[in-house]
Chain A
Amino acid sequence: EARLVESGGGLVKPGGSLRLSCVASGFNFRNAWMSWVRQAPGKGLEWVGRIKSAADGGTPDSSVNPRFIISRDDSKDTLHLQINGLKTEDTAVYYCATDSPLIDYFYAMDVWGQGTTVTVSS
């Protein structure tokens, strides 16, 4: 069974940095495109960014903010999200998800982690 487990969240002061991790199991991580999505308290879902599979270059596909850096370590089946210059508005639950081409080029996020909480406060 495909599984994703996020970690690395916590309480951080404004201006700080944080590196979130997402460990994958039960599927071929190297072949997976991966995304990060966040959700501020009581708010909707916000797409953060995506990274291609190793076979497709392993590079970030796109992201909404240059403060967010997505990377992957395929030797450890792990996805990372580095967030720099944290702001109070970055307070959210951060989810990782597989972003799969379920039909040709129609991608959708079909496996999700349970999320890790980031709180930015002084």
Chain B
Amino acid sequence: DFQMTQSPSSLSASVGDRVTVTCRAGQSISGFLNWYQQKPGKAPRLLIYAASSLQSGVPPRFSGSGSGTEFTLTISNMQPEDFAVFFCQQSFSGPFTFGPGTRVDRK
């Protein structure tokens, strides 16, 4: 199985901040990496697929980069509605494991 880790596990940010979350795979997954956002009591929402492609309807302040084993999700200008938990997921090989999540809360 492909183990996924995320750092940090949590962070505090202010509106307008630039926020970066890192996801690492135990072995190379090329660009097969997705990012999801989840708010309390809600289903996850796809933000980024194939490491850097923005899902339709997602604001361009969200961006993804990386390949191989290291990936980043960046929120360029944090908005009030962006505070949530963010999960990465590898789609390279089954089982398609998720990272443990990064909680971003308001400072």
Q: Would A45 and B89 be within 8 Å (CB), given that A103-B50, A106-B32, A113-B43 are in contact?
A: yes
A50 to B95, CA, bound (A): 9
- Counting contact residues on chain B (CB < 8 A from A), the size range is 20 to 34
A98 and chain B: residue at smallest CB distance = B46
Which of A12-20, A59-67, A82-90 lies at the binding interface? Answer: A59-67
Residues of A within 8 A of B (CB): 35, 37, 44-47, 50, 61-64, 95, 102-103, 106-110, 112-115
Q: List 22 A-B contacts (CB under 8 A).
A: A35-B96, A37-B98, A44-B87, A44-B99, A45-B44, A45-B101, A46-B98, A47-B89, A47-B97, A47-B98, A50-B96, A102-B50, A106-B32, A106-B50, A107-B96, A108-B50, A109-B36, A109-B46, A109-B89, A110-B49, A110-B55, A113-B43
Is B61 interfacial (CB 8 A cutoff)?
Answer: no
Q: Which secondary structure dominates where chain B touches chain A?
A: loop
Are B87 and A45 closer than 8 Å at their CB atoms?
yes
Given contacts A47-B89, A106-B32, contact A62 B94 (CB under 8 A): yes
In the bound complex, do residue A63 and residue B95 qualify as a contact, i.e. CB atoms below 8 Å apart? yes
Q: Which A-B residue pairs are the 9 nearest by beta carbons?
A: A62-B94, A108-B49, A106-B50, A112-B43, A108-B34, A45-B98, A44-B101, A64-B95, A47-B96
Chain B residues within an 8 Å CB radius of A95: 43-44
Asked if residues A108 and B87 are in contact (CB atoms below 8 Å), the reply is no
Q: Which residue of A lies closest to B42 (CB)?
A: A114
A95 to B44, CA, bound (A): 9
Mask, B63-107, CB within 8 Å of A = 1, is 000000000000000000000000101010011111111000000
